[in-house]
A and B are shown apart, each in its own frame.
Chain A
Amino acid sequence: MAKVHVEATLNGNAVEFLCETRQTLLQVLRDELHLTGTKEGCATGDCGACSVTVDGRLMCSCLVLGAEVQGKTVQTIEGMADGEKLHPLQQKFLEHAALQCGICTPGVLVAAKSLLERNLNPTEEEVRYWLAGNLCRCTGYNKIIEAVLDAASEMRRS
């Protein structure tokens, strides 16, 4: 079957790619565009490791087809830092030891950023429920929650 030609904005840059109609956005990001920061943990929308935003909405890139992002704006973990300047969430994750193996980290960071864009003063409970779609098997979530709350606090100050 002929491949589909797609034009989109990815992490602020115009991109175009060819994909099979059955390829998910996750597969396109990883296998066609070689951005492997977005991870596959389940490919069924249950773990959140492949979280990205499409036109500002948080979603699992395994549940979106590559062809669907025609004309849309996609943000991935690779677009989170400003060059060598880390986003406050990334910095706080390091300081709080909020990652162990790190496989869930890109998805958690993308999801947390999406939360703070909507609510810069979340309660612990709000953070826990917002991140309930992002599975982490290593940390027990403690330090993730602490890092997000601390990043929010710092972002409110600046």
Chain B
Amino acid sequence: MASVITTPEKELKVVGTSPVRPDGVPKVTGTAQYGADFTLPGMLWGKILRSPHAHARIRSIDTSKAEKLKGVKAVMTSKDLPDQKFEYVGPERVAVNFWHMTRNIMAREKVLYEGHALAAVAATTPAIAEEALKLIEVDYEVLPHVIDVDEAMKPDAPLLHEDMITRGIEPAPTKPSNISKKIEYKMGDIDAGFASADKIVEMSFRTAPVHQGYIEPHACLARTDADGQAEVWVSTQGHFVVRTMVCKLLSMRTGDLRVHAAEIGGAFGGKTVVYVEPVAVVLARKSGHPVKIMMSREEVFRGTGPTSGASMKIKIGVTREGKIVAADALYKYQAGAFPGSPVMNGCMCGFAPYDIPNQRTLGYDVVCNRPKSVAYRAPGSPISAFAVESTLDACAKKIGMDPIQLRIKNAAKPGTPLVYGEKINHAGFAETLQALYKHPAWLKPLGKNQGRGMACGYWFNGGGESSATVHVNEDGTAVVATGSPDIGGSRASMAQMAAETLGIAYEAVRPIIADTNSVGYTQATGGSRVTYATGRAVIDACKKVINEMCARAAKIWKIDVTDVIWEDGAARPAGARAGEFPPMTFKEIASKRTATGGPIVAASALNAGGQGPGFAAQFADVEVDTETGQVKILRYVAAQDAGRAIHPKYVEGQIQGGVVQGIGWALNEEYIYNKEGKLDNPGFLDYRIPVASDLPMIDTIIVEVPNPNHPFGVKGVAEANIVPPMAAIANAINNAIGRRLTELPMSPPKVLAAIDAGAK
């Protein structure tokens, strides 16, 4: 790891170190409890029946034979879920429509993809539950289906939702289609911009849907009480999200559902929605027993995720001197069976890293007979970046400019307008590019069939609603409770920020994730928001604790609280009373709590704005085997602005993990559908995520341009890193063999075909 720090280091003792995570020992000894690891007495096993067809009308479902099977305690269908109002709720970028959601949980009128759930059973053993599913009789009217996004947009395509009118067009179209939404952003004068360009590059691209690929399948355990209360243990990025969604889907009172966040075995956006949770609650309610549901890997592939595949067109105009003067984008994203691809993010992020005076971006959200798309790490941005960053690489070649220098010349700065009407609010991008350019390997020569390529990535990063409670214990330790499920080590960073603020040892802080009824509302762990927003709540609660500690010391010393200050983890008399009493430590004050006013507890709840955006810049060295078409990654260097790295090893880990997911996206991963619209590769053997022997070490450069809106300067770090790899690798392949690949994944058959087709 290399570090680039743009401001002098403050006197920090805990922040910026890499201690062992507080939840580490349970995870290396096998005692940590994930979603599937919970059990209750009398527990039943739930299993879900899924559609074998890509598109069919459900004429009838007969569950009577399944209900009669010995050991079956409950059977459910969509009839057990109240219908929902058709409306989009929440900010447009992440809007939710519960009418769609309830139909994704359990199909009603139609099944819209192979793997679409339509009934569920709970039985005394998994084997009996499986047997019962086979006894459910469904009468289907099979309908024509459509998988591809360009096909789905054609006027004569089979319609998934027969009354769907495209949103975002004025006046609204009169004819229904599979296009759920149109988005258009404009800035400057696009025609004049292209007229002033010396060189114009126009290219088309396609990407395949890819799955988040978390190793832990979805799993939960639910129990209910006769008075309407319920409890759920679940692997999720947001247990408050689960509570909100399940209560809405089942018409429950929010306070009646208590959700516990289990340890979570990876998610990357894929566990921000519900699938099995409402089903388990309904089955528990109907059977009167606790119910556990674990998805199989095949169900995960057929019924959850992925992110969108897309069809795109990019046109960029540059001057000879390397100024980007005009940029035009068209993005068509697959939403899957229900509206809601991340195309809006793609539109917003594509050109965001650059200062381009004249821009236009057009996006379409398109439904097709695939599982409903779900967030995947920087949702939407890697897709548009593949297209934009590949096109920019071609621009740099046309004018004979170093691709990093082209980007430095056009890098967005604070105040640079964004096509969606806002302005870049933070520095960091130019610094990240400079750091990458200075890497000793950037100008190092390569051998035959080897090539180097670079690309950049932008992500908004997140703020939002977070809560934290700090409990001071009588021995001078503290429990820090938050509502943010910990996926990649956030308990460590919460403990570090608390220890730093309170002035106590890291080991004296015990961070926990409290259930939904034990801490304030907290949005999901997603959008690279936790260390920033939940971190701010933790720091704020710790500051309240310090104020209380000072008040207790003032009481003991019988002086005015305004004459007490907090320094190095101890209260000290100050001002006119300075030096009158020896400092009183956190531990001493904690031990005197009963006599000074009782328990010392502070909570903080906030809706954090002011997050700094994430910038990543990376380069890859590849070697192409011209006989097999296989691409080997020889070297990978990834620079990213972290604001400040609270726990540098976990920041490196985020960068390395994001890059490797991007390498999988670039080279191997894709959903393969057959003519019947059925997925042919629903397993890890044929849906090939990167394995250890595929990869070199990933070299990281942590750039630190602190965010002034966070006490320690944090920006999010989890997502921007997955944005550049696809284009970086495509650009590297282009430099290795003189062929421009414009379709993902760049798997051996595609690379060979490109070699055979000759230079482009």
Contact = CB atoms under 8 A, between A and B. Distances in A.
Interface of A: 20, 22, 27, 30, 34-44, 46-47, 49, 76-78, 80-81, 86, 90, 93-97, 99-106, 109, 125, 127-129, 131-145
A95 B492 CA distance: 13
8 contacts: A47-B297, A94-B28, A96-B649, A97-B21, A128-B693, A139-B656, A140-B656, A143-B656
Given A127-B692, A137-B661, A143-B653, A36 B36 contact: yes
Contact of A132 (B658, B684, B693): B693
A38 B32 CA distance: 11
B297 A143 contact: no
A89 B654 CA distance: 22
A41 B215 contact: yes
Contacts of B296: 43
Interface stretch (B259-267, B319-327, B339-347, B507-515): B259-267
Nearest to A35: B30
Given A77-B29, A102-B28, A109-B28, 4 more contacts: A42-B684, A93-B28, A135-B215, A139-B656
B698 A142 contact: yes
A137 B689 contact: yes
Contacts of A81: 29
B294 interface: yes
A44 B684 contact: yes
B660 A103 contact: no
A103 B685 contact: no
Interface in B387-415: none
A136 B215 contact: yes
B674 interface: no
A47 B657 CA distance: 17
Contacts of B215: 39, 41, 47, 49, 101, 103-104, 135-137
A47 B684 contact: yes
Contacts of B660: 139-141
Contact of B691 (A30, A36, A109, A132): A132
Contacts of A43: 296-297
Contact of A141 (B21, B297, B692): B692
Contacts of A137: 212-215, 266, 268, 657, 661, 689
Contact of A140 (B33, B216, B268, B657): B657
Contacts of A39: 34, 36, 215-216, 265
A77 B489 contact: no
B15 to A, nearest CB: 16
- 8 interchain residue pairs of minimum CB distance: A37-B30, A103-B265, A140-B660, A102-B27, A140-B656, A77-B30, A46-B684, A97-B649
A139 B653 contact: yes
B37 interface: yes
Contacts of B37: 30, 36
Interface in B347-372: none
Nearest to A76: B30
A100 B489 contact: yes
B716 to A, nearest CB: 15
B20 interface: yes
B683 interface: yes
B487 interface: yes
Contact of B653 (A37, A100, A103, A134): A100
Contacts of A139: 653, 656-657, 660
Interface in B615-661: 647, 649-650, 652-654, 656-661
B69 interface: no
A129 B693 CA distance: 5
Interface in B1-39: 18, 20-21, 23-25, 27-34, 36-37, 39
Looking at chain B's contact residues, the main secondary structure is loop
Nearest to B20: A94
Interface of B: 18, 20-21, 23-25, 27-34, 36-37, 39, 126-127, 212-217, 263-268, 294, 296-297, 487-489, 647, 649-650, 652-654, 656-661, 683-685, 689-695, 697-698
B649 A143 contact: yes
B18 A97 contact: yes
A36 B696 CA distance: 32
B696 to A, nearest CB: 9
Nearest to B266: A101
A141 B653 contact: no
Contact of A86 (B25, B647, B690): B25
Nearest to B31: A37
Looking at chain A's contact residues, the main secondary structure is loop
A94 B656 contact: no
Given A42-B683, A78-B30, A128 B297 contact: no
B216 A103 contact: yes
Given A40-B294, A41-B215, A103 B487 contact: no
B590 to A, nearest CB: 27
B437 to A, nearest CB: 23
B475 to A, nearest CB: 21
A36 B33 contact: yes
Nearest to A124: B697
**Residue among A41, A86, A94, A138 with max Cβ neighbours from chain B (10 Å):** A138
A145 B692 contact: yes
A11 to B, nearest CB: 10
A100 B654 CA distance: 9
Contacts of A20: 127
Contacts of A27: 126
Nearest to B36: A40
Nearest to B636: A140
A123 to B, nearest CB: 12
B693 A100 contact: no
Nearest to B658: A140
Contacts of B690: 140-141
Contact of B217 (A41, A104, A142, A145): A41
Contacts of A140: 653, 656-661, 690, 695, 698
**Residue among A20, A103, A144 with max Cβ neighbours from chain B (10 Å):** A103
B665 to A, nearest CB: 12
Given A128-B692, A135-B691, A101 B28 contact: no
A134 B29 contact: no
A5 B36 CA distance: 26
A101 B264 contact: yes
A113 to B, nearest CB: 12
Nearest to A22: B127
A112 B623 CA distance: 29
A93 B692 CA distance: 16
B128 to A, nearest CB: 11
A138 B657 contact: yes
Nearest to B268: A137
Contacts of A99: 24, 27-28
A102 B487 CA distance: 9
Contacts of A86: 25, 28-29
B641 to A, nearest CB: 19
Given A135-B691, A137-B657, A37 B294 contact: no
A74 B697 CA distance: 33
A13 to B, nearest CB: 15
Contacts of A40: 36, 217, 294
Nearest to A93: B28
Nearest to A91: B28
Contacts of B689: 135, 137
Contact of A100 (B29, B33, B650, B692): B650
Contacts of B33: 36
Nearest to B648: A97
Contacts of B487: 100-101, 138
A140 B718 CA distance: 13
Given A38-B30, A103-B266, A132-B691, A94 B21 contact: yes
B567 to A, nearest CB: 31
A61 to B, nearest CB: 13
B29 A78 contact: yes
A39 B693 CA distance: 22
A47 B39 CA distance: 24
